[in-house]
Structure 1
Amino acid sequence: MDFEFIQAHVPMYIEAAGITLRISLVGILLSTAIGLLCSLVKVFHIPVLKNIVNGYIEVSRNTPLLIQLFFLYFGLPKLGIVLSSESCAIIGLSFLGGSYMAEAFRTGIDQVPPIQSESGLSLGLTKGQVFLHIILPQAITTSVPVFCANIIFLIKETSVFSAVALADLMFVAKDLIGIYYKTDEALFMLVIAYLIILLPISLLCTWLERRVRYAEFGN
């Protein structure tokens, strides 16, 4: 193991980690928003839109992120639409993550007992107020474990972004291997970089899940 090589190229991994984190954050936020909207459409059985959402979820969950990225980066230019590598990465991650978040929220909403809604309506609340103040808070706490798992899953999925020339962690590792043939060192730094990113998030999610269970939510 060439530790001098590792020390010399750590700044490249730090810069690449910043790119990975930025895209992950934007993608997760957009995924959450998309997932919440899709789950609302499914729960309230909105005509036409429900079929569109069901189709989107099936396409998103049953096609690899890499294929989606190839379509955005190489396919859309054939139609006159040219996107940057970063834009393709954000759109692809949001498209994939939205379907997983939608199912997470839908499952949480379905687990709220119907008596909760009926009680709210009997008190004179509107359907919107019942959903916002009674159903949604319980659904979110119930969805915490799946939501956290989806976050970690989406961050790990960023490893395919190098296929569309985005200078993320995987891109840097492959680049160093191709130039210097330092496979062990490059992969060692790659593993450490992902551990530094994912381990604190995993620990935070574990703590949050315990707090939710302790508060007797999500049971």
Structure 2
Amino acid sequence: MDISFMERFLPLYLEAAKLTLTIASIGILISLVIGLVASLVLYYRMPLLSQLVTVYVELSRNTPLLVQLFFLYFGLPKIGIRLSPELCGVIGLSFLGGAYMTESFRSGLGTVEKIQTESALSLGLSGGQSMRYIVFPQAAAVSVPSLTANIIFLIKETSVFSGIALADLMYVTKDLIGIYYQTTEALFMLVIAYLALLLPISLFGTLLERRLRNAGFGN
């Protein structure tokens, strides 16, 4: 293991990790909003919108992120729409993540018994108040493990960003291997970088789930 090589190119990995985390954070935040809104559409069975959400979820989950990115980066310019690699990454990750977040929230909402909503309404709460104070807190607590897994999954999916010339962690690793043939060192730094990004999220998700359950949510 060439330590001097790793020290020399550590700044490149730090920059790549910063880019990866920035795009992933924006994409994940947008996907959470999409998932929440779409899951509520399914929960309330809104006419037409429910069918559109179902089509979106199936389309997104059954097409690879790399294909979606290629469509955005290489396909749209054919009709005069040009997007930066960073914007393509955010849109692609949001589109994919929104479908997975929808399923997570939908599953959580499905665990809350209807009688709780009916009881809240009988006590004088409005439909919105019932969702805000009764249904959603329980659904969110149940969804935490799934949401955490989705966040980790989406960050790992950023490894395909190199396909559209984004200088992410995988892009830097492939470049260093191609130029210097230091495969072991480059891959070792890649693994460490992803561990540094993902392990804290996994630990935080586990801790949050335990605290919510100890507080009486999600039981």
Q: Same fold by TM-score, threshold 0.5 exceeded?
A: yes
Whichever residue aligns with residue 74 of structure 2, its letter is F
Cα shift at 1:90 = 0.4
Aligned residue in 2 for 1:161: 161
- 1:1-219 matches, cutoff 5 A: 1-219=1-219
Q: In terms of mean alpha carbon deviation, does 193-202 or 54-63 score higher?
A: 193-202
Deviations 1:181-202 (A, max 9, x none): 1111111110011111111111
Distance 1:215 1:45 in 2: 31
Distance 2:109 2:81 in 1: 38
Cα shift at 1:34 = 0.2
Cα shift at 1:209 = 1.6
Over aligned residues, Cα RMSD in angstroms? 0.9
Structure 1 gaps of 5+ residues are: none
Q: In terms of mean alpha carbon deviation, does 91-100 or 133-142 score higher?
A: 133-142
Whichever residue aligns with residue 197 of structure 2, its letter is I
Distance 1:183 1:87 in 2: 30
Whichever residue aligns with residue 152 of structure 1, its letter is I
Q: Which runs of 4+ in 1 moved over 6 A?
A: none
8 Å CA contact 2:26, 2:90 repeated in 1 = yes
Whichever residue aligns with residue 174 of structure 2, its letter is K
Distance 1:194 1:142 in 2: 26
TM-score (structure 2 length as normaliser) = 0.98
Percent identity, aligned pairs only, is: 64
Distance 1:118 1:49 in 2: 24
Distance 1:79 1:47 in 2: 33
8 Å CA contact 2:100, 2:150 repeated in 1 = yes
Distance 2:24 2:128 in 1: 31
Distance 1:212 1:150 in 2: 19
Q: In terms of mean alpha carbon deviation, does 133-142 or 160-169 score higher?
A: 133-142
Distance 2:15 2:59 in 1: 33
Distance 2:195 2:125 in 1: 47
Secondary structure of the residue aligned to 2:45 is coil
Cα shift at 1:217 = 1.9
Whichever residue aligns with residue 91 of structure 1, its letter is I
Q: In terms of mean alpha carbon deviation, does 194-203 or 51-60 score higher?
A: 194-203
Size of the alignment, in residue pairs?
219
8 Å CA contact 2:141, 2:213 repeated in 1 = no
